[in-house]
Amino acid sequence: MVDKDVGRGVRKGSAELLVLALVEDRARHGYEIGKLIEERSGGVLKFHIASLYPMLYRLEKRGLIQGRWVERAGQRRRRFYRITTEGRQILERQRSHWQEFMTALARVAGIRHA
Amino acid sequence: MPDWKAHVRSRFGSHRLDEDVLEEVSQHAEELYRAAQAGGRSDDESRLMVEVELADVPAVLRAARGRQRRRVAAAPEPVPPGPMLPVQSFARDVAHGARLLLARPFFTLIAVTTLALGIGANTAIFSVVHAVLLAPLPFPDPHRLVMLWEADSDDPDDFSIVAAPNYQDWAALATSFSSTAIWEHQTFNIAGGADPEQVAGMRVSASLFTLLGVAPQIGRTFSADEDAPGHDVVVISDALWRVRFAADPAVLGRIIRLNGRPFEIIGVMPGSFRFTQQRHAVWVPIQFTDQDAERGAHSFFAAARLKDGVDFATAKSEMLTIGRRLAARYEANTGEIATISRMDELGVEHLREMLLMLLGAVVLVLLIACANVANLLLAQAAVRQREFAIRAALGAGRGRIGMQLLAEGVLLALVGGAAGLLFAWAATAALAGSLPPAIRLAPFREGGVIPLDWTVLAFTLGLATLSGILFSMAPMAGAWRTSPEAALRSAGDRGGTPRLTWLRHALVASEVALAVVVLAATGLMIKSMMRLVAVDPGLDATNVLTMSMALPQADFYGEPERTTFCETLVREVGSLPGVQSVGAISHLPLSGANAGRGFAIEGRPEPPPDDSASAFYRLTCPGYFRTLGIPVIAGRDFTDDDGLSAPRVVIVNESAVEKYWPGENPLGKRIKFGNLSSDSPWLTIVGVVQDVRHFGLDTDAYREIYRPYSQAAWPVMTVTARTALEPIGMASAVRAVLRRIDPDQPVSNIRSMEEVLNESLGYRRFPMLLLGLFSGVAFALAAIGVYGVVNHVASQRQREIGIRMALGARRAAVVRLVLTRSLVPIGVGIAAGVLGALGSARFLEALLFRVRPSDPAVLGTIALVLGSAAILASWIPARRAAGVDPLIVLRQE
């Protein structure tokens, strides 16, 4: 039970962080982003199309990421997202907020288990 | 493959179509379908999975509105990853650590207090070690300063003070030294005025001040020609200048009377000058007498400064050679060699072992504290596993997470270190008052002051950082051992793989082991002290008042000018109400004062010079033995009739009889000081008294010869009075009588004999009390540590316990189950601790008295006490774990 609760909390509060972090180092397309989140969280965190793309578009509208269609010879064109300067700043801020959130989580959990 | 583009288009329904979104989403659907197929799913299953994904596709479309569209033909430009600088990321870790500490005030308080105790105690002891053993002497180029000694050729480490002719030969022959100096300690009476005063001072060679490299703040020091008699000049201390001359800058040329003789003040030393102790107030020229010219008269200290380029070993071997040459040339030097030691070791050699032992013990306490904090952090890390897992999932490597834990740990340790400094500051202030005289009066050091200076601060900083690194390893090991997937999935588990439980138990075992070592040391010291105070000092110290009185005369050690001093003293002080008996002695037992004389025995052949008879030399007033409760075994005590006109008499102690008159009746036998041909008078033995342990309860009694003051003078006598009630209450009455007897002579050192006895134990009591304190801390920390771990482990096993109880296990069986697990680390810890105590015994040996470091009673008791405490600390959480309702535990799962 706790598993899902935490998962929901993570999805609600930190989805943007997850996406920004994944496109921090290199540009990635939507499917790759969704797949990486699922893989690296051991399957705990999973975004459906209906939640992943609206988020990508919202981030793009806010200027935090930038999507570009890329066409390579012999392949279908794909849309790659990469982080913007502003996105990088937000990511740093989010990381620090995230740490605070984890602290609070640890504290609450600690009290509950004491 | 289904046409996902068409399918997605149909799902858009009446919404306005966005080709880009359609393309992107349908590509995603295709990839999902392909992946599901590749994963072995059937076509239907794969379709269903994608369908689920495509639920609420219009929401995607809504979100896409207003989005800026761009098309590019080129491949995406590589985006620089823009890594953070290490400093930035470390600063972020520290800031994060600070937030964590603030967010967990209870944890922080416990951890910081634990660390403050450990680090603070280390800082306090280190500051004593630093002040006494490590701080350089307060002179320029201090490492080139050495002491010169005579030594026994059979035992080169048995240094002794120096005869002036030997010093003069060394100074002339040695090529290793750029300069040499000689001095003798002396007590001076500053008479005249309302307040006669007794001060410590020295006769010094003029070269001393240049050797040390110090200059006076006013005036000058001695010139070389003032080393010869006929120059009554004096250099005084800053303290004396301020107290007696109100810091008058025109003090030069003024006359001060020392031991009744006028001296002209030619210089004032700076306030920082301590040679050899703060209390030294006057320095007069050495001006050797005829008596000093004897090679057998060892009463001087000598020092030298090594020439540039000459090392200690070279100088030492040169002195050895010179000493051998002198031994071959002079009969009095037979069996003697010359040697050197470092000046900064003077008076502190014997403290080294004790202080290093204390430092060792306090480091063990810190290790216990670190183990406790490591345990706390491990418990925290278990709760934070999810945080680490998510960070790892987001790409943080082991190094990053390790750095973060390290930053948090070091930050915690530094806060603990800062609190520890406060603790150390208070502790050193408290310690300063209870330092044993050996530390308080250590040469060249500022007596009783333990500075917390930059070196100490650097030590604390280093120690705190090291502690932080040390205890951060536990949570690091915890964070690294756990895979992100496992941590994220094991949400219901309270963290802690079996590996971590093992680590916790290892920490418990080390805490118990370290505590056993510290407690065993304390136990051995306490047992030593118990054995020591049970030793009969040979006197009865209860209700005896003692005070020193100066009795100077032109010929200090000749016939007494105050022939009736003892008679008057006994009559006047003895008539005070409450005084039961009165006496006086030149060298009060256990006070550290001493003198020795060689003598010849009538009717025996002259022995070789290095085998002549010798004994400690004392002057007494009649009534001294009765006052101190020293039984006269044979013959009689001195009386007022033993004056200058009566035959010269002595009393000897049992040890002297045993050595020189074994099986004989010594009464009536005669001796004389010096050799048989000396012109000193024959002295008849009229009494034998019981031995007294003059140097301390741990030192055997030595041969002693007592003479009546009425036949031979001594410049300082200690008056002793046995009182009916508490002796210090009589002090002012006795002092008033002494002032009446001689208003010019200062009275000092007013103490009860019990105080004197207690102070003689200070050298052992000080480390014992400190060790006792450390043991208390070690014991408490270890017990808390055991409790914390067993509690944690038991709560981790609650589910198992619940199932066992639901299946009918009894409470007692559950308690036993939890207890048995903790017994293993406790048992291992105690066994390792006992081995550790045996291994560290050699550091303790010098401080023990009639107790072996492997004393089975002490080690057994400590093992039993700590073991019981640890079991009790485990039993409490075990009982609580067994008290839970199995239904509640199972329902939680």
Specify the pLDDT at position A110: 63
Read off the pLDDT of each residue in B714-718 and give the average, rounded to a whole number.
Answer: 89
Q: Which residues of A touch B60 (CB under 8 A)?
A: 49-50, 53-54, 57
Instruction: Answer for the pair B540, B720: CB distance below 8 angstroms, yes or no.
Output: no
Binning pLDDT at 50, 70 and 90, where does residue B691 land? Answer: very high
Specify the pLDDT at position B72: 38
How many CA atoms, within 13 angstroms, populate the side-chain half-sphere of residue A44?
A: 27
Residues paired with B635 in a beta bridge:
B687
Distance from the Cα of A105 to chain B's closest Cα (Å) equals 9
- Measure the CA dihedral B791/B793/B797/B798, to 10°: 20
Q: Do B54 and A3 touch (CB under 8 A)?
A: no
For the cut 50, the answer to whether the pLDDT of residue B82 exceeds it is no
Percent pLDDT > 90 in chain B is: 44
Residue A58, Cβ density class (10 Å: 0-12 exposed, 13-18 middle, ≥19 buried): middle
Binning pLDDT at 50, 70 and 90, where does residue B54 land? Answer: confident
Residue B823 CA to residue B828 CA, distance in Å, equals 8
pTM, whole model, 2 decimals?
Answer: 0.70
The C-alpha angle B561, B563, B565, rounded to 5 degrees, equals: 105
Classify the phi-psi angles of B61: left when phi > 0, otherwise alpha if psi is within -120 to 50, otherwise beta.
alpha
Residue B290 CA to residue B684 CA, distance in Å, equals 28
Task: Please state the φ and ψ torsions of residue B472, each to the nearest 5 degrees.
Answer: -75, -20
- Measure the CA dihedral A44/A49/A50/A51, to 10°: 40
Binning pLDDT at 50, 70 and 90, where does residue B487 land? Answer: low
Specify the pLDDT at position B65: 73
3-state secondary structure of B473: helix
Find the farthest-apart pair of alpha carbons in chain B and give their distance in angstroms, rounded. Answer: 142
Q: Which residues of A touch B394 (CB under 8 A)?
A: 17-18, 21, 40
| B517 touching chain A per CB within 8 A | no
Q: Scan residues 48-87 of A and list those with Cβ closer than 8 Å to B.
A: 48-50, 52-55, 57-58, 60-61, 66-72, 76-80, 82-83
Which chain A residue has the Cα nearest residue B64? Answer: A57
The C-alpha angle B378, B384, B390, rounded to 5 degrees, equals: 135
Specify the pLDDT at position B459: 92
Spatial CA neighbour of B277 closest among B306, B245, B303, B239: B239
Query: Which amino acid does the sequence have at B351?
Result: L
| A97 touching chain B per CB within 8 A | no
| B808 touching chain A per CB within 8 A | no
Q: Which residues of B touch A87 (CB under 8 A)?
A: none
Distance from the Cα of B845 to chain A's closest Cα (Å) equals 46
Instruction: Answer for the pair B704, B563: CB distance below 8 angstroms, yes or no.
Output: no
Specify the pLDDT at position B259: 79
For the cut 70, the answer to whether the pLDDT of residue B486 exceeds it is no
Three-state secondary structure string covering B98-158: HHHHHHCHHHHHHHHHHHHHHHHHHHHHHHHHHHHHHCCCCCCCHHHEEEEEEEECCEEEE
Q: Do A2 and B380 touch (CB under 8 A)?
A: no
Specify the pLDDT at position B44: 77
Binning pLDDT at 50, 70 and 90, where does residue B889 land? Answer: low
Distance from the Cα of A23 to chain B's closest Cα (Å) equals 9
Distance from the Cα of A31 to chain B's closest Cα (Å) equals 5
Q: Do A69 and B70 touch (CB under 8 A)?
A: yes
Q: Do B383 and A96 touch (CB under 8 A)?
A: no
More confident position, B478 or B786: B786
Which chain A residue has the Cα nearest residue B57? Answer: A50
Partner residue opposite B100 with nearest CB, options A25, A67, A103: A103
Helices (H), B534-601: 565-574
Residue B495 CA to residue B822 CA, distance in Å, equals 19
Partner residue opposite A21 with nearest CB, options B64, B389, B395: B395
Instruction: Answer for the pair B621, B583: CB distance below 8 angstroms, yes or no.
Output: yes
Specify the pLDDT at position B477: 80
CATH of the domain spanning A2-107: 1.10.10.10
Residue B197 CA to residue B185 CA, distance in Å, equals 17
Domain boundaries in chain A? 2-107
Query: Which amino acid does the sequence have at B465?
Result: T
Q: Which residues of A touch B35 (CB under 8 A)?
A: 35
Percent pLDDT > 70 in chain B is: 92
More confident position, B491 or B265: B265
For residue B276, say if its preceding peptide bond is cis, omega within 30 degrees of 0: yes
Which chain B residue has the Cα nearest residue A20? Answer: B394
For the cut 50, the answer to whether the pLDDT of residue B78 exceeds it is no
Read off the pLDDT of each residue in B53-78 and give the average, rounded to a whole number.
Answer: 59
More confident position, B126 or B437: B126
Chain centroid to CA B674: 44
Q: What tens digit of pLDDT does each residue of B526-571 get?
A: 999 999 989 999 999 999 999 998 887 777 677 898 888 999 999 9
Which chain B residue has the Cα nearest residue A57? Answer: B64
Q: Which residues of B touch A50 (CB under 8 A)?
A: 53-57, 59-60
Which chain B residue has the Cα nearest residue A109? Answer: B383
Binning pLDDT at 50, 70 and 90, where does residue B490 land? Answer: low
Partner residue opposite B59 with nearest CB, options A54, A77, A83: A54
More confident position, B56 or B474: B474
Q: Scan residues 455-484 of B and list those with Cβ closer than 8 Å to A.
A: 484
Q: Scan residues 17-46 of A and list those with Cβ closer than 8 Å to B.
A: 17-18, 21, 24-27, 29-31, 34-35, 40-45
Read off the pLDDT of each residue in B725-748 and give the average, rounded to a whole number.
Answer: 88
- How many beta-carbon contacts under 8 Å exist across A and B? 155
Q: Do B60 and A61 touch (CB under 8 A)?
A: no
Per the prediction, chain B carries an average pLDDT of: 86
| B485 touching chain A per CB within 8 A | yes
Q: Which residues of A touch B81 (CB under 8 A)?
A: 24-26
B400-414 in b/e form (b: 16+ CB < 10 A) is ebbbbbbbbbbbbbb
Q: Do B390 and A10 touch (CB under 8 A)?
A: yes
Q: Do B63 and A34 touch (CB under 8 A)?
A: no
Domain boundaries in chain B? 4-64, 155-334, 552-741
Across A24-33, B62-71, B201-210, B723-732, least confident range: B62-71
Percent pLDDT > 70 in chain A is: 82
Q: What tens digit of pLDDT does each residue of A43-95 get?
A: 777 788 878 888 898 888 888 899 888 877 777 788 999 999 988 888 888 78
Specify the pLDDT at position B495: 44
Distance from the Cα of B776 to chain A's closest Cα (Å) equals 27
Which of B4, B15, B28 is the mutation pick for testing A, counting most A CBs within 10 A? B28
Residue B681 CA to residue B342 CA, distance in Å, equals 42
Residue at token pair 């002494």: B738
Task: Please state the φ and ψ torsions of residue A62, each to the nearest 5 degrees.
Answer: -80, 0
- Residue B818: C-alpha distances to residues B171, B496, B798, B828, B876 (Å): 76, 16, 10, 17, 10
